[in-house]
Every structure is written in structure tokens, then in C-alpha cells.
Chain A
């Protein structure tokens, strides 16, 4: 699965970059946005919507975060972390489910 390995490596690069690369939001804030856990107030509301109801994000949601003193660059980073985090949970859950289904077929753990 050479090409699949390449995709997983590219995915890891995206995750590592948004969580650990240079940024204006702290690594702890970025991790909280990625996990959709532990952020209160307007930024918590925005991150929660990005993760689970993205089509419901409003101008007011973003304006409220700006009014709370969080800079646009920090919002940019935290919204990206929230989106990548939710999609990563889905991706990894599905890859694990595939691995489990394949293990049944081969009588052991499939190396996905």
C-alpha cells in the first residue's frame, strides 16, 4: 500500500504542522481546538460549531471571538485546528474500522 502510506504520511505532516508549527495561538490552545475540548466562551462556541455544525457558523460567531480579544491570526489557526482535528478523528476511526474488518478476513491484525 505504497500510495496509501504516502497519504498517511502527508496527513501526519498536516497534523504536526498545525499543532506544532510556528503559530500565534499557543500549542495548548491549538491542541484544545483540535480536540474540541477545554475552550470556553466565544472561541469555544466557534470551535464547537466548526467541528460538528460547520454550516451553522455565523458572522456573529466570528465577530464575538474577535471582540473577546483573540486576533485574526489566532482565529485562523484555531479554526484550522478544529477542522483538521474533527476530520482526523473521523479518518482514524474509519482506518481502525477497516483494519478490524480486514483482521477478520486474514485471521490476524491487518497492517494498515
Chain B
């Protein structure tokens, strides 16, 4: 968490780079204010980051992430949000664990299932293809590598090659976002803000 001065709340302390707190163009600041007024929550730092010099990172990454999370896939949106939460959990990324646990819970309408997967996917009440995929994503995230034997196990569980590719795209998106959240020091908001964010992500996606 960024250094907190005695007179500041965590929200006011902001991210670790001042440019990510106040370096936006006037029109973007107006947009942030409108989002705050309409949703009654400030735009989360994950969203703000994509508006800073968007040609460098924000725009191309939003396009990738939207395709991975909302594009055509045999995985449901709920499954992909669960993968995002699971990867974030392995990376110990507080912001993304919060955001995607709530989003996947909302998408599945099943809090117990998401909690069980995040606690231990080996014993969670999920289908084998999803379990094998999560196991492989976990190894890739934790150890930074997997081999052909790992992929054979996933294929043997009934997962199609296309599904594996789609899961790896989710993994790329969140291994990147988790790193930026922790390096730049994203503020971790309360449950109401995460609920509002989840509602937005399920309605609008990552554009």
C-alpha cells in the first residue's frame, strides 16, 4: 500500500506514481468525475491505469482482456472470472482477488462454489475439466512454467485445445494485471465498491 501521510485516508494517498493519480487530461478527469457521480464510487485504480497514456498500454490491453474474458469461448463468463480470481489468489494480489471473487460469485450466483475453489480446487464441487484447467493455471502462475505432460493431463480430463488456449489468455491478462496492481499500489476498496465494479464488468466487460 502506498505511504500514508497522517492526514490522508488510503484513498487520498493514491497509487505510488503521482502521474497515475493526477496526470490525466482534463477530459479524462471529467469522465472520472461523471463515473464517480453516477456509480457513487470512484473509478477503481485498475480502470484509471488504462486511461493514462492509453496508447502505450491501456487501449491494446483492454482489447486483449475483453477478448479473453468476454469473447467467444466454450468457457462461460463465470468460469473465466473464476480463473481470474484463482490466478490472483496465487499471486496474492488483494485488489484482483476482491474484484474477481465478487464478479465470479455474481456470475455463477453461487458464493459457496467460488469460495471452495479459491480454498482448494482439488476438493471443490466443480467439473473435472475446470478442475484440471485450474490446476494447470495454478502451476503456470506459481512456477512460471508448465510442460507437455501438464497439458496432456488437461486434455485427458476432456478439455479441448481451444479451451486451453482460452484459459491461457485469461492467465496472461491476470498475470499482467496482478503485477501492475501490486507494483503501482492499487487501492483495495470495500465490498460495496467491488459489488458495483462486478456489476459493471458483467454488463459492459473490459472495453
Contacts and interface: CB of A to CB of B under 8 A. Distances in A.
B19 interface: yes
A18 B150 contact: no
Interface in B137-180: 140-141, 144-152, 155, 161-162, 164-166, 168-169, 171-172, 175-176, 178-180
Specify the main secondary structure of chain A where it touches its partner.
helix
B185 A3 contact: no
Interface in A29-63: 46, 49-52, 54-55, 57, 59, 62-63
Contacts of A18: 56-57
Contact of B146 (A22, A55, A93, A105): A93
A100 B154 CA distance: 13
**Which residue among B52, B57, B152, B166 has the maximum number of chain A CB atoms within 10 Å of its CB?**
B57
Interface residues of A, number: 53
A76 B183 CA distance: 10
A101 B152 contact: yes
Contacts of A90: 140-141, 144-145, 171-172, 175
A101 B151 contact: yes
Given A55-B93, A101-B148, 7 more contacts: A3-B67, A4-B165, A10-B60, A51-B179, A73-B53, A76-B52, A84-B57
